Amino acid sequence: MDIKGYDMGHIDIGWCPGCGNFGILSTLKNALAELDIAPEELVVVSGIGQAAKIPHYLKCNAFNGLHGRALPAAVAIKASNPELIVIAESGDGDMYGEGGNHFISTIRRNPDMTNIVHNNMVYGLTKGQASPTSQRGFVTPVQVNGVILEPFNPIAIAVALQVSFVARAFIGDTDMTKEIIKKAISHKGYALVDIFQPCVSFNKTNTYEWFKENTYYLDDAYDPGDRIRAFEKAVETTRFPLGVIYANPDKATFEASLNVYSQDPTPVVRRKRDLAALQQVMDRKRDL
């Protein structure tokens, strides 16, 4: 697949020069191209925020919803048409803050989809408030004495809930990020990719250099199937591990567990509508 197949042409992009979102957008395009995924087979879903503008800049099917509500829409799309490749993509505030409960519920449901989170540890769209992943002591125009809360740890939450796949990347290394995204999309089940992505305008602490100095890659001997070891890695905070931290490919997907697909794999959106049967269901509900 030619990467130009995802281009929107000459469009106005609302990100600041140097923003990590540019790297994630181009890296996602390269990953999709190498996986030979056609734009018509792909749906990208987002909520609100700078990262949530990703679907505006990709030529594919897209849904841009309410703040924090990307995941339930993405799950519904996948359930109604399991043949589609579904990617939910937003920032750390949208996914882990406003959408925190949906994040937890989606891990438990395990739909076959990829969840890419642009983690810059700040709310960039609204100009610099602390986000759920902001580190202790981080000073903002609102948190003038520094953040006093423990940062939300999406990797540890995911491993604790026996997520199907979870990885962390740093967009300062686009080649490795691309390979991690490809593994996530190819994985059968819910796949979380938390990508460290500097906000060059509203986070002067967690810069490209800071992320480079405070991360390291898991080595080839690391076994992502070892859940106890994965949890140990998830709670490391002195330096953050990068790579596939945990994978459980044997977990049943949400769609496979639905009764509607137990005997017929045809996506429900393609099935013939039986209005008489629908009327019977509605009549029964009225009688309750």
Q: What is the pLDDT of residues 146-192, one digit of tens each?
A: 999 999 999 999 999 999 999 999 999 999 999 999 999 999 999 99
**Could you report the per-residue pLDDT of 262-281, keeping only the tens digit for each?**
999 999 988 988 889 889 98
Strands 215-217, 240-247: pairing kind = parallel
Q: How far is residue 95's CA from residue 69's CA, in Å, rounded to a whole number?
A: 8
pLDDT at 101 over 80: yes
Under 8 Å between Cβ of 102 and 117 = no
One-letter amino acid of 141: P
Q: What is the pLDDT of residue 1?
A: 87
pLDDT at 287 over 80: no
Residue 138's closest CA among 154, 120, 155, 156? 120
pLDDT at 120 over 90: yes
Q: What 8-state DSSP symbol labels residue 98? A: I
Q: pLDDT-based confidence at 285, cuts 50/70/90?
A: confident
Q: How far is residue 44's CA from residue 24's CA, in Å, rounded to a whole number?
A: 14
Q: How far is residue 190's CA from residue 247's CA, in Å, rounded to a whole number?
A: 10
Q: What is the pLDDT of residue 273?
A: 84
One-letter amino acid of 135: Q
**Could you report the per-residue pLDDT of 64-99, keeping only the tens digit for each?**
999 999 999 999 999 999 999 999 999 999 999 999
Residue 216's closest CA among 176, 163, 185, 263? 176
Strands 42-46, 85-91: pairing kind = parallel
pLDDT at 130 over 90: yes
Under 8 Å between Cβ of 54 and 80 = no
pLDDT at 288 over 80: no
Q: How far is residue 16's CA from residue 196's CA, in Å, rounded to a whole number?
A: 17
Under 8 Å between Cβ of 119 and 86 = no
pTM: 0.94
Rounded average pLDDT over 37-52: 96
Rounded average pLDDT over 254-261: 93
One-letter amino acid of 104: I
Q: Which residues contact 144 (CB under 8 A, 6 or more apart)?
A: none
What's the whole-number average pLDDT of the chain?
95
* Terminal CA-CA length for the chain: 53
Rounded average pLDDT over 197-217: 96
